[in-house]
Amino acid sequence: MIPFKTIQELINKHSSLEMDLSSGKIDKKFFAEKSKEYSDLNEIIEVAKKYISYEKDKIELEKILEDQSSDKELLKIAENEIKDLQSQFKKNEKKLKLFLLPKDEADKKNAIIEIRAGTGGLEASLFASDLFKMYEKVSHKKKWNIELISISRSEAKGLKEVIASIKGTNIYSTLKYESGVHRVQRVPDTETQGRVHTSAATVAVLPEAEEVDLKINDSDLRIDVFRAGGPGGQSVNTTDSAVRITHIPTGLSVSQQDEKSQHKNKAKGMKILRARLYELERSKIDQQRSQDRKNKIGTGDRSERIRTYNFPQGRVTDHRINLTLHKLEEFLEGEAFDEMIESLTLQAQEESLSKL
């Protein structure tokens, strides 16, 4: 049970922020921060007040039940109300626990998604293309903005690699569980014997880091320029427009050559590099906090097999939560995507609550 003192502090904080914001006396540099805090508390304040009033409401109903003069109809109403009250209390308690869980500061950020063909040759690149189309459809349905950063095509409209930026509301919190190995089982178009082949593609979802999130010193970067061409290049340029940026302290390197402008390639490369460095730093902090940290639902291990798309049986299975949806076509169209994400989020929340 959550201490009532903890919940009362939330209510008091909400009232205090409300007074401060309506006073017009808040320093401008703190206004946005306090407004956000107030907005976050607004989402849970009614639940908090009901949680606090639980004991008082329960005592009043118990008095009716203990009153010998109460008629049977009133007693029955009181019995039903106390059952409803107890049921609502448990629901409110869970909502408050979720609200009080440590927040991932990256959840509300935009995301950079990287998809690469894995084992399986041409079929793997076709599957990588299918996955990217799925995320495009999900983005369209949610009215997110998806912007292509880098793309490397294979034969037959497949993709060796694609990197894109997705902007909108709470992007990273929605897509973070997509990181890992996605496996497909189907009969390739080139298969004459009708045999089912297994191929794979890796997906990495990184929170998009702003300049304020981490400082990158120019002295830590080595920037090489060269002529674009070959796989991934749109054309063989006559100028040195392609850019390779290396972060010397970590050895992380990003190459960008899709644009004909060296300046644009550098800007796109820095966006990818910043996201990878930010994720690297987050991973280090997580490991420092708990050396034996092993979540059932990972959000960053690209080597973990997380999901299988089985075409012959028309099903998609997430191995982390043992959930199978017999809606493969709908899933790839972005229709059943939310059902999977909600289940993953709920399981992750349950795991976090169990650790409290």
Between 4-23 and 28-42, two packed helices, what is the crossing angle to 10 degrees? Answer: 140
Helix or strand or coil: residue 13?
helix
Both tokens of 213, joined, read 């999130």
Residue 248 DSSP SS3: coil
Task: Determine the Cα angle at 352 with ends 48 and 5, to 5°.
Answer: 30
Q: Could you read off the pLDDT tens digit of each residue along the chain, which spans 356 residues?
A: 788 888 999 999 999 999 988 888 887 778 888 888 888 899 899 999 999 999 899 999 988 888 877 788 888 898 999 999 999 999 998 889 888 877 777 888 999 999 999 999 999 999 999 999 999 999 999 999 999 999 999 988 899 999 999 999 889 999 999 999 999 999 987 777 889 999 999 999 999 987 667 788 889 889 988 887 654 444 445 567 889 999 999 999 999 888 888 888 898 899 899 898 988 888 776 665 454 444 546 555 556 799 999 999 999 999 999 999 999 999 999 999 999 999 998 888 888 777 76
Inter-residue long-range contacts of 311-316, CB under 8 Å, 24+ positions, other chains counted: 311/184, 311/185, 311/186, 311/187, 312/185, 312/186, 312/187, 312/196, 316/340
Q: Look up the pTM and report it.
A: 0.71
**Cα separation, 210 vs 112, whole angstroms:** 12
- Secondary structure class of 123 (helix, strand, coil): helix
Dihedral-angle region of residue 157 (phi above 0 means left; psi in -120 to 50 means alpha; beta otherwise): left
Domains and CATH numbers, the chain: 4-100 (no CATH), 111-209+297-354 (3.30.70.1660), 218-289 (3.30.160.20)
